[in-house]
Structure 1
Amino acid sequence: MINKNSKIYVAGHKGMVGSAIIRELSRNGYKNIVTRSSKELDLRRQNEVELFLEQEKPECVILAAAKVGGIAANIKYPSEFITDNLLIQTNVISSSLNNSVKKLIFLGSSCIYPKDAPQPLMEDYLLSGKLEPTNEGYAIAKIAGLKMCEYYNRQYGVDFISLMPCNLYGENDNFNLEDSHVMASLIRRFHEAKVNELSHVDVWGSGTQLREFLYVDDFADALVYVMENYKGHKFLNVGTGYDITIKELSELIKQIVGYKGEIRFDTSKPDGMHRKIMDISMIKNIGWNMKTDMYEGIDKTYKWYLDNKFLFE
């Protein structure tokens, strides 16, 4: 088992998820944490990854590195989303096996599930139907990663587990409008509309689509809990157990930001999947539950954005 003195390599430590994991590990007394920036270590290059793991010999690898983006970026750059993610995860997972890593945690996404799967999304629904076309490349890559972990466990007896979070948001999110996810994009656009005294804010889609959102520090808490308490072949959903329409989300962000104008929904833009809510029975059964409600999480995220918006100008 992993203990407080175990060497833990967190791949993708500068991103929203990776930085939250670093904070949570530190809060829980883990001090032997190894990181590398993408300039220091290109995870798309197998030789670099193999040499790094051979030299560092971490006991645990947390694979939070990935090429991520919102619906616009996934539609525009599908080749990069499938290629970069396949390279990153294949190199890290296979090299972890080669270098006797005791535990690996691979992070996926709720987009792995079929477009028309029953709701809420149970782990058993994987590969039961066609994927949502707007993020198919990313989803295929993530499915490949979790299947690698599953097969390695069965064939080699290792402890490589996968977590599938719902939509995450929070500190260190990407607020670049071209490739941000819906939460960060809306926070920035409502803030700029407030500052510039715009009469309305346009939101993609009908507003009726339903999404589940988890504050990123809660996800990091779930990851550390699973690292300490779970071993098994099955991947685990991580979420809140409830969802919200994009219209309701927009109104909540409007309230938190203090914007007074109108919200307009652009139905010429795609909605993506109508609904995505995770069945979280498995992770609840091993003892984990979320801690941060949506109002508190969005408020914290908006305050972080206000302090760091210069990074996205």
Structure 2
Amino acid sequence: MTKRKYLVTGGTGFIGSALVRRLVKEGNDVRVVDNDLRGSSARLSDVLSSITLIPCDVRDADAMTEASRGCESILHLAALNGTENFYNRPDLVLDIGVRGMYGALEAAKRNGITEFVLASSSEAYQTPPVVPTPEEVPLTIPDPWNPRYSYGGSKLISEIMLANYNRDLFKKALIFRPHNVYGPDMGWEHVLPQLILRAQTQIASHPTGKVPFEIQGDGSQTRSFVHIDDFIDGLIIMVEKGQHRNVYHIGTRDEITIRTLVEAIFNWFGREPEIIATSLPEGGTLRRCPDTSKLEALGYAPKTDIAKGIDHIAQWYVDNAHLRPTA
């Protein structure tokens, strides 16, 4: 990878910290912007001496301008993610998503930074018309009154902003859409940590026999999960080889039902679940799996299967369950 001066927003988050660590490992000059609203600088404890960490709110264009001065590339990952946040704090999700994007773009404009990489999301196209889903599908928000779409809406808007703001400045503008990235210390508001910790609790209260376990829907809905190590491999490949004004899906084509996922988690615990179906929250997507052939053509090849990945993440959450926020 070409050695450069990078500014990473959201760099103390789950994906951001993994990206920062890789950029440092490859000899780059890295500045990290985050206010630790959802991230934690502790994630970067092993590389703090090798980076510049700047406490900053991405919505503050002046602060972002100062933080990015002298940088050659902005990797914009800052956002308020997590399904619980989509439903409970949609105003803040939108505020950080849209005003934060403006702050980052304005900083690039003021400092003449010609490379900008945006973290979008599969939520930007919500319910796909075809699965596996290629990058060129229409971006859709089916119901603007549903707070579930606050995050997807902010990402849709951000993609449009990158395409049209600083249009003549950027020599390399790239968008990547993560698809269910997972791994240790990914946060507490996502499906895998929540399933793992609920399974642990239910197992403790049912020491013998099948363990009753409620899931949303009947479990036939599918997702495709990508381990953080594979994801960062793909992201680095895209940053280095991706084409100007292009979008890249980063994930895997290994589709799994939620029922099968729950069974795999219980298998890790050495127990068997009695799965109890419940209603799906309004706005959920029944099937999602990316077509990653565009990135694969650049050399992307994920290696971690879900069984190995569950072992990796489940052990971390069981060992660190005491760190889970109580409020």
Equivalenced residue count is 303
Residue identity in the other structure for 2:59? R
Q: Provide the rounded CA distance (Å) in 2 between the counterparts of 1:194 and 1:45.
A: 46
Higher relative contact order (CA 8 A, sep 6+): 1
Which residue pairs with 2:47 in the alignment?
A: none
1:261 deviates by 4.3
Percent of paired sites with the same residue = 25
Aligned to 1:275, the other structure's residue is in SS state coil
Give the 3 Å change call, closer, same or farther, for CA 124–265 of structure 1 in structure 2.
Answer: same
Which residue pairs with 1:19 in the alignment?
A: 17
1:114 deviates by 4.5
Give the 3 Å change call, closer, same or farther, for CA 158–98 of structure 1 in structure 2.
Answer: farther
Contact 2:34–2:58, Cα closer than 8 Å, also in 1: no
Give the 3 Å change call, closer, same or farther, for CA 204–128 of structure 1 in structure 2.
Answer: closer
Alignment of 1:1-313 (within 5 A): 3-4=2-3, 6-27=4-25, 29-38=26-35, 40-54=55-69, 57-70=70-83, 72-115=84-127, 117-127=129-139, 130=142, 133=146, 135-152=148-165, 154-175=167-188, 180-197=189-206, 199-267=211-279, 269-270=281-282, 272-313=284-325
Q: Provide the rounded CA distance (Å) in 2 between the counterparts of 1:118 and 1:129.
A: 16
1:245 deviates by 0.9
Contact 1:11–1:18, Cα closer than 8 Å, also in 2: yes
Residue identity in the other structure for 2:2? N
Q: Provide the rounded CA distance (Å) in 2 between the counterparts of 1:258 and 1:194.
A: 10
1:259 deviates by 3.6
Q: Provide the rounded CA distance (Å) in 2 between the counterparts of 1:49 and 1:172.
A: 27
Q: Provide the rounded CA distance (Å) in 2 between the counterparts of 1:94 and 1:131.
A: 30
Residue identity in the other structure for 2:133? L
After TM superposition, the score normalised by the length of structure 2 is 0.85
Q: CA RMSD in A?
A: 2.3
Q: Provide the rounded CA distance (Å) in 2 between the counterparts of 1:131 and 1:115.
A: 12
Structure 2 alignment gaps of length 5 or more: 37-54
Contact 1:207–1:247, Cα closer than 8 Å, also in 2: yes
Q: Provide the rounded CA distance (Å) in 2 between the counterparts of 1:309 and 1:224.
A: 31
Q: Provide the rounded CA distance (Å) in 2 between the counterparts of 1:269 and 1:83.
A: 24
Q: Provide the rounded CA distance (Å) in 2 between the counterparts of 1:73 and 1:194.
A: 27
Q: Provide the rounded CA distance (Å) in 2 between the counterparts of 1:129 and 1:34.
A: 34
1:109 deviates by 0.8
Q: Provide the rounded CA distance (Å) in 1 between the counterparts of 2:110 and 2:173.
A: 13
Give the 3 Å change call, closer, same or farther, for CA 265–47 of structure 1 in structure 2.
Answer: same
Q: Provide the rounded CA distance (Å) in 2 between the counterparts of 1:239 and 1:306.
A: 25
Contact 1:169–1:213, Cα closer than 8 Å, also in 2: yes
1:112 deviates by 0.9
Give the 3 Å change call, closer, same or farther, for CA 147–93 of structure 1 in structure 2.
Answer: same
Give the 3 Å change call, closer, same or farther, for CA 26–297 of structure 1 in structure 2.
Answer: farther
Residue identity in the other structure for 2:310? I
Q: Provide the rounded CA distance (Å) in 1 between the counterparts of 2:143 and 2:298.
A: 29
1:108 deviates by 0.9
Aligned to 1:156, the other structure's residue is in SS state coil
1:308 deviates by 2.6
1:153 deviates by 6.6
Post-superposition Cα deviations, 1:199-242, rounded to whole Å, max 9, x if no partner, equal 42221222111111111221111111111112321211111112
Residue identity in the other structure for 1:18? G
After TM superposition, the score normalised by the length of structure 1 is 0.88
Structure 1 alignment gaps of length 5 or more: none
